[in-house]
Homo-oligomer: A and B are copies of this chain.
Amino acid sequence: MGDRGVLTVISGFAGTGKGTIVKGLMEKYDNYALSVSMTTRSPRPGEENGKSYFFVSREEFEKTIEEDGLIEYAEYVGNYYGTPKAYVEEKMKAGFNVILEIEIQGARNIKKIYPDAVLIFIMPPGADELEDRLRGRGTETDDVIRKRMDRAALESDGIEDYDYIAVNDEIDKCVSDVHTIIEAAKMRPQMNEEFINKVREGLKKKASR
């Protein structure tokens, strides 16, 4: 049952450790695939093209939109972020749970197109912890951190739009919590239509004897 993979949307405030969770899922289990997003933002130190993101120009991004090659896209702090379509479909068909690490606006769009997608919001244990983690990164100025915290306050109004929350207090626990959510999602009736129909037809055949 549930041979098709689950489209797994992972969101969370900047600094919540979404990237680490996603990396943990990929390392710990063999049935996850990461959807690589396309973006017009500049790479951070250490980010590789085609691995963290496909870094493209504004012009290239808009061409992909026109060609209907994206599941969803959104503009966020002046940059485009989007999800290339073909790769996601192919991987789900092959049984992989495809992870999309996207912003809240994109997550809502995904749910409209893929109602079976599972939306997970990664939470920090608290507001103080989030600020500490952003400072701990050491890559951003005070002004940027301030902006990210303000953004988090705004985004927090959308948490209830998600199907699940997972608290990133202890990383291994959070990775296994996300996996539990996805394993459960595979047992929803809509993921097992073929099996249910087979059993139902068998029962009806016996009943009409």
Contact = CB atoms under 8 A, between A and B. Distances in A.
Interface of A: 1, 13, 121, 123-124, 126-128, 130-131, 149-150, 152-154, 156-157, 159-160, 162-167, 177, 180-181, 183-185, 187-190, 192, 195-196, 198-207
A190 to B, nearest CB: 8
A18 B129 CA distance: 44
11 contacts: A124-B199, A149-B203, A153-B204, A156-B196, A162-B189, A164-B184, A164-B188, A165-B188, A180-B180, A180-B184, A184-B185
A207 B196 CA distance: 50
A157 B187 contact: no
Given A1-B167, A164-B188, 7 more contacts: A126-B198, A149-B203, A152-B203, A157-B200, A167-B195, A180-B184, A184-B184
A149 B205 CA distance: 10
B183 A165 contact: no
Contacts of A198: 126
Please state the number of chain copies in the assembly: 2
Contacts of A177: 187
Q: Decide if the interface of chain A is mainly helix, strand, loop or mixed.
A: helix
A149 B187 contact: no
A60 to B, nearest CB: 35
A127 B206 contact: yes
Contact of A192 (B163, B165, B205): B165
Nearest to A183: B180
Given A180-B183, A206-B149, A207-B149, A199 B164 contact: no
A195 B13 CA distance: 16
Nearest to A156: B200
A184 B118 CA distance: 12
A166 to B, nearest CB: 6
Nearest to A164: B187
